[in-house]
Amino acid sequence: MTIASTPRTDQLLTLRNVVKHFDISGGLLDQLRFQNGRLTRRRTTVKAVNNVSFSITAGETFSVVGESGCGKSTLARTTIGIYPPNRGEILYRDQRIDNKNAQQMLPFRRKMQMIFQDPYASLNPRKTVMQTLEEPVVFHNPRISSADVRQRVATVMSQVGVDPKWAGRYPHEFSGGQRQRISIARALMVDPEFIVADEPVSALDVSIQAQILNLLMDAQQQRGLTYLFITHDLSVVEHISTRVAVMYLGTLCELSPAKPLFETPRHPYTQALLSAIPKLGRPASQHIRLRGEVPTPIHLPSGCVFHGRCIHANQRCREEIPMPKQVETGVIVACHGIEEGRI
Ligand code: ADP
C-alpha cells in the first residue's frame, strides 16, 4: 500500500510500507494452550504499525495525529531507528537506513534527533546540564576542545532560553518547561537536520506549551530543521503543521496539507476526531460520537480497520482493505465510501 505524499523534490525521509509488530507471546510456557484435548502453541502479536508509507520534505513540519494507542510513538521510534521495522523500507535522503548496523548508522544518528514527551524521564538526573549537553557533541566530535564544547553549550542554552549560568545545575532544579528546553538543547547540540518530536508539549502546563512550540518553530526557521511531530492534541497541530497524517489502529487513513484537513476533513475518522476539538460557536451536538470502542491491535478487524465504528461502512468495507487515493492535490484518503462517492 502506498500513501505517498504529493510528488515533491527534496524528500528528506521516506517510509515505504513500514510494518512494526511486537511479539508479546512471552516464554514457551505462556504460549502453550490446551484446545480440544490437544496442546497448541499460540503467539500473540501487537500490530502497532501496518503498511505505513509517506515522505517528508526538507523543511516541513509533518504531524502524525490519532488517539492514544494508535501507533504514533511506535511509528516515531521506528522512523528514527530505535525499533527495527518488521517489514518495509526507511530512507534518509535516498539511502536505506532500516538495514544498517550501529556503526553504519552513526552519521545518520547525528542528523536525526528525538525529543520525548517527558523531559524529566529523558534527562539523566545524575548529570548536570553541562554534562548532558556536552556528551553528544564529544561523542560525535571526539577531537573537539573542551573550550569549544563549553562555548557551544553556552550558545545553544541561550538559544533555547536557559541561562548558561545554570549549566552546573541538575534536572530537578528546573521547572517542566525549562527541562523541555534543555531536552531541545540536547537535540540541537549536534546540529541535526531532522527532529522527531514525540508529544513534546503534552506533559506541560497549557501556559508553557505555546512557549515551547514557539521555540521549536523559531529553531526550525533559524536552522532549516525538518520535524516529524507526534501528538494526540489536534489544537496544537493546526498551527504548526505543513502536512498532517491521521492514524487509526496502526494505519494511515488520511494525509493532507494542514489547512484543507482542518477545513474539509474527508475520512469519517478524521471528521470525528476534528469534531471533538472544542471551538467557540460549535455546539456539543455537532460532536460526532463514534460507536463502539477502538479494537485491540492484537486482533485487527478485516477490511478497513475503521469499519466497525463507521456509520458509512458496507460489506466491501468489512472485507477489502481500502487503498489510499488522491482526492485533490496533496490530499490522500484511504476510504471505499469516498472512492465510491457515497461519503
Ligand atoms: P500511541 O503513541 O499512538 O499512543 P503506541 O505506539 O505507544 O501508540 O502504541 C501502539 C500499540 O503498540 C499499543 O497497543 C501499545 O500497547 C503497543 N506497544 C507499544 N510499544 C510496545 C512494546 N514495546 N511492546 C509491546 N507493545 C507495545
Q: Give me the CATH number covering residue 68.
A: 3.40.50.300
Within-domain flag for 167: yes
All three cell numbers of 308 = 466497525
Task: pLDDT band for 25, please (50, 70, 90 cuts).
Answer: confident
Cα of 173 from ligand 1 centre, angstroms: 31
Task: Report residue 78 as a C-alpha cell.
Answer: 521506528
pLDDT of 2 strictly over 50? no
Write out the residue range of the structural domain in which residue 104 sits. 11-24+43-340
| Residue of 144, 140, 124 whose CA lies nearest to 191 | 140
Pocket test for ligand 1, best of 18, 19, 20, 22 (most atoms within 8 A of CB): 22
Contact residues of ligand 1, CB 6 A cut-off: 22, 24, 46, 48, 66, 68-74, 297
Residue 179 counted as domain residue? yes
Helix axis angle for 129-140 and 102-111, nearest 10°, is 120
8 Å CB contact between 130 and 150: yes
Phi-psi region of 338 (alpha: psi -120 to 50; beta: other; left: phi over 0): alpha
For the chain, give the percent of residues with pLDDT over 90.
Answer: 79
Domain count, the chain: 1
- Could you tell which of 74, 116, 228 is best to mutate to test the pocket of ligand 1, judged by most ligand atoms within 8 Å of the CB? 74
**Which of 22-36, 87-101, 155-169 has the lowest average pLDDT?**
22-36
Q: Is residue 6 part of a domain?
A: no
Lowest mean pLDDT among 3-12, 82-91, 233-242, 273-282: 3-12
At 255-285, the pLDDT tens digits run 999 999 999 999 999 999 998 877 766 676 6
pLDDT tens digits along 9-21? 589 999 999 999 9
Atom 22, ligand 1: residue with shortest CA distance: 22
Q: Whose CA is nearest to atom 5 of ligand 1?
A: 71
Q: pLDDT-derived band of residue 201, with 50, 70 and 90 as boundaries?
A: very high
- What is d(CA 225, CA 4) in angstroms, rounded to the nearest whole number? 21
Q: Which atom of ligand 1 is nearest to the CA of 77?
A: 6
Residue 153, SS3? helix
Residue 197: left if φ>0, alpha if ψ -120 to 50, beta else—which one? Answer: beta
C-alpha cell at 18: 513500514
Tell me what pLDDT residue 280 has: 66
Instruction: Encode pLDDT of 110-124 as tens digits.
Output: 999 999 998 888 899
Average pLDDT, the chain: 92
105, with CB counted inside 10 A (0-12, 13-18, 19+), is middle
Q: Is residue 1 part of a domain?
A: no
> Which residues does residue 20 pair with via DSSP β-bridges, in sequence order?
49
Predicted pLDDT at 9:
52
Residues of the chain above pLDDT 70, percent: 96
Ligand 1: distance of its center to the CA of 152 in Å? 36
- 4-8, 269-273, 307-311, 321-325 — which is least confidently predicted? 4-8
Q: Are 88 and 19 in contact (CB under 8 A)?
A: yes
Question: Which cell goes with 105?
Answer: 548508522
Residue with cell 494508535: 70
Residue 34 β-bridge partners: 39
Residue 149 has pLDDT above 50, yes or no: yes
Query: Which atom of ligand 1 sits closest to the CA of residue 74?
Result: 6
Q: pLDDT-derived band of residue 193, with 50, 70 and 90 as boundaries?
A: very high
| 55 lies in some domain | yes
